[in-house]
Amino acid sequence: MSGANLTVTVGEGTCGIAAGAKDIATQLKKRLPDATFRTVGCVGMCHQEVLVEIEDDSASYLWGKVDKKNIIKIVKFHKGEAPAPEEFLVRSTEKGDLAGGQYLSRQTRIALRNVGQLNATNIEQYKERDGYKAISKILSDGLTPEDVIEEVKVANIRGRGGAGFPAATKWAFARGAEGEVKYLVCNGDEGDPGAFMDRSLLEGDPHNVLEGMLIAAYAIGASKGYAYIRAEYPLAVEHFGKAIEDAKAAGLLGDNILGSDFSFDIKIKQGAGAFVCGEETALLASIEGERGMPRIRPPFPAIKGLFGMPTIIQNVETLSNMPWIILNGGEAYANIGTETSNGTKVFALAGAIARGGLVEVPMGMTIRELLEDIGGGSSTKYPLKAVQLGGPSGGCIPASMFDTPIDYESINATGAIMGSGGLVVMDEKSCMVDIAKYFLEFTQLESCGKCTSCRVGTVRMREILTRICDGEGTMEDIDNLETLAEQIKSSSLCGLGQTAPNPVLTTLKYFRDEYIAHVKEQKCPAAVCKGLITHTIIQKDCTGCTLCKKYCPVDCIEGELKKPETWVIDQEVCINCGMCVEVCAPDCILVA
């Protein structure tokens, strides 16, 4: 083996770049000057970044966690100067999955089929992977808009943005609506903490999203479109903007696409990061230059939407499935998943999970299979306790229910929602009251304030949760919390207010004993809530190293060097910040 005839592929999605992919690519070019280099988006294995794939004439090797130290070993192997450093080998054509486990092999990738496989800014590479064949088929074979809608209906794909409304039904409404102009809006306003599905799709395969927009626009009769992308996603905005330019140059966007009567153009609108703009009517108000606030429905956007014209809003993942559906047929898509939840779903695994990142799995897979077979289980020494599914608007599902199938009906039955696909994993050291408080604080801050129930009710809920976490709550507070949650759900105008209480309601349902412990026992079982814990030095385990004293921000720790029996924490001064625990090498500080 030699450095010649090598193809080196570096993952340069946002996660890869953050891990140092640019520097690694530069070093590899210096060390392998004769190799051919490719840049791709994130394949989804964020836990293995920086990812580098190197192919020779006979095999390919995917290396993970590549850094300035192990890059030398990897290069020497590919030059034939040293054995393979298998501790960094994720998978290879010779040995299959290694460090990657079943991360990729258990997935069914449709929306993500090209991500990590092509240069996102190269339209020719997209075409080589059947890119733009779907829209060409529609236009060259004379498929009518009704034909396209019927194919999507057969696929039975439901909107992947959260609500799960059938895409074909929505399209049919807009197709039959009257208006001088019709609009198609791609919703890339991804705001859930821990979610990065849309970002990766827009960064890693923008032409696929664009082709999905073309298909949807043709079906409903839209001539104008907007891609609403968060401004916090600069790489996604850049790559999608380049895709628009290249598609126009290739006659795939603009007037008379591919010589047909179909004309469609797209503009990018950068969102300012308001979570409420994930709601359809608030998003439309933002595009129109107004404050992002929901409107009363009906009329629905499919009848009267952007600038008063019929409008379809579809999220990035939903649109990413459309080219595959048209090329392979709606029946092929419907055969994946369950009877009522067809196809696949993309999830962002985050939190206490060993193999965090982006995955796409068939509907019907259980939560346990997703977490253990693909995610690799807990990333800490503690067992998994729960997952928060559906973002701040979702709910917490306990470990006892991890055998629940991932489909809309089964997830809704737990009190959570599928949402857009954010999945935050929590271990036994997570306080579920604190988790509920965190998500409630987020939605309260993101409320637009239009509804009294949402504007005021979420503030009152936050105050109650704060009292409970501070050890000042009462049993009446728990009852009031539940009552407020139900009232806010039933009286809020939009999806933000209607779902904001979900984390509270599900934690009360499945982890009520933790709320009671906070109130009656004045104790946080997970030892997280600062108002209910103390930090104590275990003198028999202490080495008297003084690190805790050096890093204590309030100077509440005293003792003599190398005299463990002298070390104590002044409980009157301690703020329970946990810094001493972070720096204590022998783990000799008790938190309880």
Half-sphere exposure of 400 (CA within 13 A, CB side): 4
Task: Give the per-residue pLDDT at 100.
Answer: 67
Q: What is the CATH number of domain 344-427?
A: 3.10.20.600
First to last CA, the chain: 57
Average pLDDT over residues 79-95: 89
Burial of 427 (0-12, 13-18, 19+ CB in 10 A): buried
pLDDT band at 102 (very low <50, low <70, confident <90, very high): confident
Q: Does domain 534-591 have CATH number 3.30.830.10?
A: no
Which two three-digit tokens encode residue 419? 């949402």
Task: Give the per-residue pLDDT at 105.
Answer: 86
7-97 CATH choice from 3.40.50.300, 3.40.50.620, 3.40.30.10, 3.90.25.10: 3.40.30.10
Question: Which one is predicted more confidently, 62 or 100?
Answer: 62
Q: Are 105 and 95 in contact (CB under 8 A)?
A: no
Instruction: Break the chain into its structural domains and give their ranges.
Output: 7-97, 123-334, 344-427, 432-520, 534-591
Task: Give the per-residue pLDDT at 361.
Answer: 97
Which two three-digit tokens encode residue 288? 């129109």
Q: What are residue 242's phi and psi, to 5 degrees?
A: -65, -40
Among 254-263, 349-358, 386-395, the range scoring the smallest mean pLDDT is 386-395
Q: Are 330 and 151 in contact (CB under 8 A)?
A: yes
Measured CA distances, 51 to 24, 25, 33, 39, 45 (Å) = 10, 10, 19, 11, 8
Task: Give the per-residue pLDDT at 95.
Answer: 74
Task: Give the per-residue pLDDT at 163.
Answer: 79
Q: Does domain 123-334 have CATH number 3.40.50.300?
A: no
β-strand pairing of 422-427 with 535-537? unpaired
Q: What is the CATH number of domain 432-520?
A: 1.20.1440.230
Each residue's pLDDT tens digit, 32-50: 999 999 999 999 999 999 9
Each residue's pLDDT tens digit, 217-256: 999 999 999 999 999 999 999 999 999 999 999 999 999 9
Q: Does the N-terminal peptide bond of residue 298 adopt cis geometry, omega within 30 degrees of 0?
A: yes
Each residue's pLDDT tens digit, 260-292: 999 999 999 999 888 898 889 999 999 999 999
Torsion sign, CA atoms 75, 80, 84, 90: positive
Q: How many residues does the chain have?
A: 592
